[in-house]
Amino acid sequence: MKILLGTLKDKGDELAKFLEPRIGTKPDVSSDELDIEDKSLKKGIRSRHVKTYIKRFLSIEKVRDDYRVLVEDGELRLVELEGSEEEEKEKEERKSKEKKEKPAEKEAEKEPASEQAEAATKEKATPA
């Protein structure tokens, strides 16, 4: 079984250490891929299990949203999603806009309430 790391090749050693206790053998690390001998895997471990372990590793590294793990003929491939930096910027902009809008909404809500209170006090103050 091969795991093609793609742009995540700098974390190949860390991924190998993470997978070793889970699959029962240490993967051979080369420049941009991990090789695992199918015979040395724990009994019952299939490529879908290894895929789940890789996704867990990506979550721990906080890059899960930036990658997809594809399985083709027993070969796993980590594919970086395009536009992830742009999406992050958009999310940050939305959050900052929401933060700015919330105080403005609260002030707008307070104004009608204060106007109502003033009107009520005027009615009480004026004799009928």
Domain residue spans of the chain: 2-80
Mean pLDDT of 3-13: 88
| pLDDT value of residue 122 | 61
User: DSSP state, 25?
Assistant: S
Q: What percent of the chain has pLDDT over 90?
A: 17
Question: Where is pLDDT greater, at 93 or 56?
Answer: 56
Annotation: CATH topology of 2-80: Gyrase A; domain 2 (3.30.1360)
Mean pLDDT to the nearest integer, 81-92: 67
Average pLDDT score, the chain: 79
31 within 8 A of 9, measured Cβ to Cβ: yes
Neighbours of 20 (CB within 10 A): 13
pLDDT tens profile 69-84:
999 887 999 998 886 5
Does residue 125 surpass a pLDDT of 90? Answer: no
89-94 contacts, C-beta under 8 A, 24 or more apart: none
Of the ranges 4-18, 37-51, 86-100, which is most confident? 4-18
Angle at 48 between CA 71 and CA 19, to 5 degrees: 100
Element (H, E) at 87: helix 84-125
Pairing of strands 67-72, 2-4: unpaired
Q: For residues 68 and 6, is the Cβ–Cβ distance under 8 A?
A: no
